Amino acid sequence: MDKTKRIVINGVVQGVGFRPFVYKIARQLGVYGFVLNSSKGVIIEITSSDEKIEKFIKELKEKKPPHSEISKIDVMDLKLKKFKEFKILKSSNDSNIVTSIPSDLAVCDDCIKDILDENNRRFLYPFTNCTNCGPRFSIIEKIPYDRKYTTMKKFRMCADCKAEYEEPSDRRFHAQPNACSLCGPRVWVVSSQLKIIKKGWIDYIVKRIKGGNIVLIKGLGGFHISCDAFNQKAVSELRVIKKRDFKPFAVMVDDIKYLSDYLYINEEEKKLLHSPKAPIVMLRKKENKLFEFVAPLIDSVGVMMAYTPLHRIIFKDLRDAGFKSPLVMTSGNFKDEPIIKENDEAMEKFSGFDILLHNRDIKNRIDDSVVFLDGKSNIRLIRRARGYVPDSIKINSDIDLNIFASGADIKNVFGFYRKGEVILSQYIGDLEIKENRDFFVNSYKNIKKLFGLNFDFAVIDMHPSYYSSEMTKKFKIKNIIQVQHHISHIYSVMAENNLKDNVIGVSFDGTGYGLDGNIWGGEFFLMKNKEIKRVAHFDYIPLCGGDIVTKEIWRSFASLFYRRRDFVYDFLKSKVDKKTIDIVFKMMDKKINSPLSSAVGRIFDAVSVIVTGDVMSEFEASGPMKMENMAYKTKDSYKFDILNDSGTYIIKSDSIIDDIIIDYKNGKKNFISAKFHNSLLNIIKYLCVILSEEYSIYNICFSGGVFQNRFLVNSINNVFDKRYRIFLNSKVPSNDGGIALGQIYYAIRTDKIIFHNRKEK
């Protein structure tokens, strides 16, 4: 006996070929009805026997498209309906938006074949795509994900493209950005002399790159600035433009073979490079100097594959011309500003350079993601952006409220919660810069509109001067919850791993406003019975000048070695003016503008001054990154002291400092980094073992920017035995880009939401 069922599917089910997939399954099983996209998700109505309907639902789950993600399937009975066939219907809209938005996908192998086949009508067409690849988040304006709600709406499909779009057996069946050279977006170049080049644009760009020039290329989520990665003059000029003297640039290739002589690449890294997410992957250098222009003084280079047809076409012509170098592909912006996405802005800000433009508008700007693989091939995110955003993160909660989280001020990423999932924004950047604050506000408004959300709660950092918190307060969200920065870090790991409670948390980074008004960053927490206790931390040191220490890292050195002033003066005598050092010590003595800090990030900076000789930081964490390369030289370590102060363990650095000075004076400077890293691991193990035994808790979470250090990440699992369960961030960065997830989970898990609701009632 036939029955009619309505099936509503939520998750990433739009823009990933889900409706064509449903259509094919229905046709194969002989099931009649329809499927359509809506703001509630994918809606299916079918009439058939119980047996066929059961098989239909089973195949939906088991054979779903590779880039889709099903978070929920609701099945309900309807009054019997008679259908004559199975159809894909036009999308419907609803104010209650529960579906997700797909992330942008790297060009697939089939589309690469199309653009390289001289007999294919898409030969060398830069905007070739199908249901398995191409733009998604970067072009969407509204849900449901249909062409008319994207920036492709102005391009009317030609007869051939429309036939593909409507043919169920075609891989471009309902591919929303589908286009060709007759009906789709086009490319042109505005030369450095302001000449517009439409025909021969590829020959011109290739000639300019080969000639050692810098060009701008409009890509998927914004502009890149590009040049020959092995051309020292071009890279040096790019550093002047970007005001980045030493900070590494990412590079792009079309084939791994062009890197195998220069970088170590394992099979898992190859898979990640060629994956649909196609992030920048940090790869270790071999013993050669070619990448020293691009990534000086550190042991790794960020590499990504050419992930759009446009990139592939540029590389094809470069290779045909005998060019074998990678290309620098760095964000098209000035230092720390948002990536440029508009043609007019690119032409205004980079007038005098060759600029490759196109007329497929970018609605949502988005940078490239950056990752590395740890020793166990786990993905560790450094920047979560293209390919990962706006994928949702499922968490263990059935609270049916909308929660906004503002994130931090550095490496800002905000986020929101709706029943059972968290969606994080693209990378916003440092909010000290006005353009990034504008980006924050505009992205908030866009996300709110896109998902049709009104927020019941906001969660912010407790820092009294954070821009992210102040801007959030202006969003007129009624209930606001504050949370301490490093507690958020730990809760981000707990959220990823669905840990509700009973956790020891280790949070190491460079700064964060503490509950006592000091600067925290070397913290051990106990999360038990929904209570949070700071159970250990590094001893405080005064940081003269406050935030300036992140640039003038010799100040952190003077602070850490405060007790050994004779050594500080002697070491800095040819590097920093003595009068300046005098002033710094006097300010610390009199406690003038010298906030107390327990931050491990600042301790790393201080030790790096001795190891590298640098007294200024070229870019954030440049000293610690250089130190990491030297962390493998010995397994020896320094002794350390830990005091129990009324139940709180205080880590004293005096013994470490004295032994570092001895090593330096004895000509063993090259071993200081390794011994310091090993000491840090010993401190972590010593305290975690004590705390685990004391509180009978064996779940240990690690987070904070310091845990982007590969040596520490790879070593942590090795220092603990099987009794301990070790957790690190893998779905969000351990740096401040993961804070928003932790803020939300803190509010949910500590019952702050319930408490607020009771107060309201």
Active-site residues, by number, are: 19, 37
Number of neighbouring beta carbons within 10 Å of residue 334: 16
DSSP string, 282-338: EEEB-S-SGGGTTSTTSSEEEEEE--SHHHHHHHHHHHHTT----EEEEESSSTTSP
Please report where in the chains the tokens 């250990």 appear, as a residue.
536
Number of neighbouring beta carbons within 10 Å of residue 80: 10
State how far the Cα of 117 lies from the Cα of 126, in Å rounded to an integer.
13
- Residues paired with 698 in a beta bridge: none
CB distance 624 to 571 below 8 Å: no
Q: What are the structure tokens assigned to 739, written together?
A: 């804070």
Size of the chain, expressed as the number of residues it contains: 761
**Neighbouring residues of 713: CB distance < 8 A, sequence distance ≥ 6:** 374, 375, 380, 707, 728
Q: What are the structure tokens assigned to 720, written together?
A: 């603990």
CB distance 309 to 106 below 8 Å: no
DSSP 47: E
CB distance 333 to 341 below 8 Å: no
| Closest by CA position to 192, among listed 208, 211, 177 | 208
Amino acid, single-letter form, for residue 531: E
Angstrom CA distances, 679 to 57, 137, 541, 660, stand at 55, 45, 19, 11
State how far the Cα of 457 lies from the Cα of 397, in Å rounded to an integer.
15
DSSP 67: T
CB distance 732 to 744 below 8 Å: no
State how far the Cα of 321 lies from the Cα of 406, in Å rounded to an integer.
49
CA 251 distance to own-chain centroid = 17
State how far the Cα of 261 lies from the Cα of 22, in Å rounded to an integer.
46
CA atoms within 13 A on the CB side of 338: 25
Number of neighbouring beta carbons within 10 Å of residue 637: 18
Helix axes of 739-749 and 752-760: crossing angle, nearest 10 degrees: 60
- Residues paired with 482 in a beta bridge: 460
Number of neighbouring beta carbons within 10 Å of residue 625: 23
Angle made by CA atoms 385, 149, 278, in degrees to the nearest 5 = 25
Residue ranges of the alpha helices (H) in 137-188? 159-166
DSSP string, 408-458: -SSSB--EEEETTEEEEPPP-B-TTSHHHHHHHHHHHHHHHHHHT---SEE
| 3-state SS assignment for residue 526 | strand
| 3-state SS assignment for residue 280 | strand
| Closest by CA position to 679, among listed 698, 654, 703 | 654
| Closest by CA position to 16, among listed 117, 122, 104 | 104
Helix (H) or strand (E) holding 747: helix 739-749
Pairing of strands 215-218, 223-228: antiparallel
